[in-house]
Every structure is written in structure tokens, then in C-alpha cells.
Amino acid sequence: MSKPGDYAAVRRDIVAQLKKPDYDDGSAGPVFVRLAWHSSGTYDLDSDTGGSNGAGMRYEAEGGDPANAGLQYGRAFLEPVKEKNPWITYADLWTLAGAVAIEEMGGPKIEWKPGRTDLVDDSKVPPRGRLPDGAQGADHLRFIFNRMGFDDQEIVALAGGHNLGRCHIDRSGFEGPWVNNPTRFSNQFFKLLLKLQWKPRTLSNGVQQFNYFDPDAEEGDEPLMMLPTDISLITDPSFRQWVERYAEDKDLFFDHFAKVFAKLIELGIKRDEKGTIINTDNIKGGYVSAPKKSNTPTGPLKSQTGGDRARL
Ligand code: HEM
């Protein structure tokens, strides 16, 4: 067991959880990044509610939100880390795991600061419906991300998170990876958005997405995909200029992504000049490392979905 405050030990234990040969593309990294993003992306600037404090996904009100389907895998993969470092809060662990995963998958260094506390009950869990819907377009992206305090450039940089991981038909209803190497962070997502011919496709569940059908594909090759929201990044002129710049200049993208992801995981957090969190909950309650909600992922079984994705 590590000493309270030994975040370097937690980092090492997160790294040790990344390799998962029987899961998805062999890494827990992408689902850690999504967990960090969804635990922060509920923030509402006007009411100053939601955000990365609290780890509300331990409660059904937030954890059971269909927008968070599949994130139980990320949470369960982090349980061994929590067991070895019981002093860390879930809110810190989930955001740190996202930052560590990005770095370990070849992305930029993400500034991460500790001090988030865990909610002790579900009274402050943000309402559902604050996370983006991939079936929509540019107006929706602005509606959702402006609410958190992000502008067009930041929206496009953040959407570069889709260089990692994949869609699962039994989680979001969409299917497939965005890039050929979904466990390596890069600017490939932007390059492919501009370069390939994206054709609308309706899946057997009625969900519409975009796919590229490679004429040289071999049997069993999975076609690359884009969400309707991803395609809006090239049809909306203000978004598109950033897609073009990030496709051309990987260093610029890495720099902007590091800044915007660090901002994302600080949403709803207020610090004094020493970096100490001064939100009322944190001052009153201290650094509350709350108990976990459930030990097992609660997603549909492989046999229930016919999916080929291994369960935990
Ligand atoms: C722009 C609005 C966004 C929409 C509409 C969106 C939507 C989605 C959807 C539908 C999935 C598939 C989930 C599944 O089936 O497992 C997904 C996965 C993912 N998203 Fe996003 N997302 C957005 C922004 C972001 C941001 C800001 C990040 C991080 C910076 C991010 C990182 C990821 C990652 C890493 C995955 C893969 C997860 C995995 O492999 O399990 N997304 N997203």
C-alpha cells in the first residue's frame, strides 16, 4: 500500500493496468480517457454544477446514464489501483487515469493536479443529458461545449480524443474504430477526416454513422467510422479550419490537446494560489475517498448482444 499523497505510485499502478490482451484493441487506455472526459464533461458554467469533483458515476443516477454505457469497464479496471492506494479519491483516480493513458499511448504530457473529493451521496449528481449526442451536428456540439466554457478551437482539439478507441454497438449503438491504430495517440483522426470518402451508413439497429469502405480491404477488416458529430467538424467552416491545421501540424494539435484536456479535468474545480481546492465541499468535507459503488461491470453480457467484445 502506498503512502497518502504518493501519486507517482498511483501512476505506476495505472500504467500496470493498461495492457489488456483480451479486451478490445488490447488496451484499457481509451476507456480510461473516456472515463476521465465523461466524469468532467457534465460541467455547467452558469449554475456551476457538475464537473470533475465528486465521481458521481459511482451512483446509478450518473453511472446508469445511457451516455455512460461501457464506462463500468474503465471503473472496474481501476479497482485494483484503488485497492493498492485506498487513500486516493475516485474523482482524482479517474482523471489521473485519463491523463496517464494519453501519455502512455504516445500523446502529450497532460498537466494533472490532485485534490478532488468524492460525493458522499447522490444529491449533487448532475442531471443526465449534459454529454454530447454523436447523432447530431455542429450546433449541438456548440450548445454542449459552450456550456462547459469551450470555444470552437477547443471543441475541435477535444474531439481529437477520437484518435483513440472505438465505438461498441452494445454501448452507444455506433460501431467501429476511427483510426487503424486506436491505441496510439496521434493526429490521424484529423487526417482521415479530410482524406477519406465518408459514406453514410445505417446499421442494423437503425443508427446512422459514416464509414470508409477501403477497396483494398481484406476479408474481416473492420471499416473505419465517423460519427455524425465528427463529420460536422469538416462541414462547419469554423470547425474545419482547425481540423485542417491539426491534420497538417501534429505538434500544434498535441500542444492544444494537452491544454484543453487539462482544462477539461479541472472543470468545476476552484483552487487558491497554492493549488489547494477551495470548493465548499472540499473545504467542509476534506479529501473524502468514498467507497466504491459496485465491483462488477453491469453492461450487457456478450451472449445477450451477440457482440464479439470480450467481457472483463
Ligand atoms: C465531440 C463530442 C463527442 C461525442 C459526440 C462523442 C461520442 C462518442 C461515442 C458515441 C463513443 C463510442 C462509445 C462506445 O460505444 O463505447 C465515443 C468513444 C470515445 N470517445 Fe468520444 N465523444 C465526444 C467527445 C470526446 C472527447 C472530448 C473525448 C476525449 C478528449 C472523447 C474520447 C473518446 C474515447 C477515447 C472513446 C473510445 C472509448 C473506448 O474505446 O471504449 N470523446 N465517443
Query: What pLDDT was estimated at residue 113?
Result: 98
Q: Name the fold adopted by 138-262.
A: Peroxidase; domain 2 (1.10.420)
pTM score, whole prediction: 0.94
- Whether residue 284 has pLDDT greater than 70: yes
pLDDT above 90 coverage of the chain, percent: 88
Nearest-CA residue for ligand 1 atom 8 is 134
Q: Write down the H helix ranges in 105-175.
A: 138-148, 152-159
Query: What pLDDT was estimated at residue 297?
Result: 58
Choice from 25, 32, 37 to test ligand 1 binding pocket (greatest atom count within 8 A of CB): 37
Residue for cell digits 450548445?
A: 143
Q: CB of 251 within 8 A of CB of 164? A: no
Nearest-CA residue for ligand 1 atom 24 is 159
- Whether residue 300 has pLDDT greater than 70: no
pLDDT in tens, 190-212: 999 999 999 999 999 999 999 99
- Whether residue 280 has pLDDT greater than 50: yes
Contacts of 155 (CB under 8 A, 6+ apart): 141, 142, 145, 239
Q: Which residues line ligand 1 (CB under 6 A)?
A: 30-31, 33-34, 37, 70, 132, 134, 141, 158-159, 161-162, 164-168, 171-172, 174, 227, 229, 261
Query: What pLDDT was estimated at residue 299?
Result: 53
pLDDT in tens, 87-144: 999 999 999 999 999 999 999 999 999 999 999 999 999 999 999 999 999 999 999 9
pLDDT in tens, 134-185: 999 999 999 999 999 999 999 999 999 999 999 999 999 999 999 999 999 9
Calpha distance 28→15 (Å, rounded): 10
- Which one-letter amino acid corresponds to residue 127? P
Query: What pLDDT was estimated at residue 311?
Result: 32
Query: So which residues are the catalytic ones?
Result: 38, 178
pLDDT band at 253 (very low <50, low <70, confident <90, very high): very high
Query: What pLDDT was estimated at residue 220?
Result: 84
pLDDT in tens, 28-46: 999 999 999 999 999 999 9
Taking the centre of ligand 1 as the mean of its atom positions, its distance from the CA of residue 150, in whole angstroms, is 17
Query: What pLDDT was estimated at residue 219?
Result: 87
Calpha distance 29→92 (Å, rounded): 16
pLDDT in tens, 223-236: 999 999 999 999 99
- Closest to 50 measured CA to CA, from 140, 136, 138, 147: 147
Choice from 162, 167, 179 to test ligand 1 binding pocket (greatest atom count within 8 A of CB): 162
pLDDT band at 294 (very low <50, low <70, confident <90, very high): low
Question: Domain spans of the chain?
Answer: 7-131, 138-262
Taking the centre of ligand 1 as the mean of its atom positions, its distance from the CA of residue 34, in whole angstroms, is 6
Query: What pLDDT was estimated at residue 27?
Result: 98
CA atoms within 13 Å, Cβ hemisphere of 266: 18
Q: Name the fold adopted by 7-131.
A: Peroxidase; domain 1 (1.10.520)
Average pLDDT over residues 3-8: 97
Query: What pLDDT was estimated at residue 295?
Result: 58
